[in-house]
Chain A
Amino acid sequence: DSGVTQTPKHLITATGQRVTLRCSPRSGDLSVYWYQQSLDQGLQFLIQYYNGEERAKGNILERFSAQQFPDLHSELNLSSLELGDSALYFCASSVDHQGGMNTEAFFGQGTRLTVV
């Protein structure tokens, strides 16, 4: 058990809809990262938050957004969903004392999103 909790584990929704994925980081971890894993694209970094503020942005679509709350949990919001958004979405957290991704990250088990 990595200590990172993601809910829900599975999500099935229709095209055009909006969903919210939730992540609770390990206790004490200030950084939260979101990733998308699909068969054709591999693992893609989407976005990172550190102590409530956006720190780094990867290949995140404009239809997607995220935030980190004062209690450090994070939510990834996916809107106007398309079939191609079907993927496994991972959250990870790290201690990140020195800033930057030079400390190992601990991953949740992921949310499998299926858009039909």
Chain B
Amino acid sequence: AQSVAQPEDQVNVAEGNPLTVKCTYSVSGNPYLFWYVQYPNRGLQFLLKYITGDNLVKGSYGFEAEFNKSQTSFHLKKPSALVSDSALYFCAVSYRDDKIIFGKGTRLHILP
């Protein structure tokens, strides 16, 4: 069955430290992969996507993500976390027939 997993409900990182939010997927065929961020009382905002090409994609607000086909992962990263990065992050995958599934979300807390 097609699925997206975000194994951590919450990630705590000290400000200035690197952060990683994990995402793994299981779909047949070649997926399109996305990261979205949701701030309190706001809709989701697009961060970045992987369609094809370079496995390292750069997105908004200094975030980047690495596509690893062998590990079926698409982890979100940032070299130096800011308190303002605290939010709910969703990984999503789109595959055949334009279906899309989201992970359950990971709450990121950046500690000052």
Q: Given A56-B97, A100-B94, A101-B32 in contact, is the A106-B102 Cβ separation under 8 Å? A: no
CB-nearest residue of chain A to B101? A45
Q: How far is the CA of A90 from the CA of B105 in the complex (A)?
A: 15
Instruction: Tell me whether A104 and B49 are in contact (CB under 8 A).
Output: yes
Q: Cβ of B44 < 8 Å from any Cβ of A?
A: yes
Q: How far is the CA of A28 from the CA of B41 in the complex (A)?
A: 26
Chain A residue contacts of B100, Cβ below 8 A: 33, 45, 48, 56, 58, 101
Instruction: Tell me whether A55 and B41 are in contact (CB under 8 A).
Output: no
Instruction: Tell me whether A105 and B101 are in contact (CB under 8 A).
Output: no
Q: Which 6 A-B pairs have the closest CB atoms?
A: A42-B104, A107-B43, A101-B94, A104-B46, A43-B102, A107-B44
Q: How many contacts between A and B, using CB within 8 angstroms?
A: 64
Q: Using CB atoms and an 8 Å cutoff, list the residues of chain B in contact with chain A.
A: 32, 34, 36, 41-46, 49, 51, 90, 92, 94, 97-105
Judged by DSSP, the binding face of B is strand
Q: How far is the CA of A101 from the CA of B42 in the complex (A)?
A: 22
Q: How far is the CA of A35 from the CA of B105 in the complex (A)?
A: 14
Closest approach, in angstroms, between the C-beta of A1 and any C-beta of chain B? Answer: 10
Instruction: Tell me whether A102 and B51 are in contact (CB under 8 A).
Output: yes
A49-73: CB near B (< 8 Å → 1, else 0) gives 0000001101000000000000000
CB-nearest residue of chain A to B92? A43
Q: How far is the CA of A35 from the CA of B45 in the complex (A)?
A: 14
For B42, B49, B92, B99, which residue has the most chain A Cβ atoms within 10 angstroms?
Answer: B99
Closest approach, in angstroms, between the C-beta of B8 and any C-beta of chain A? Answer: 13
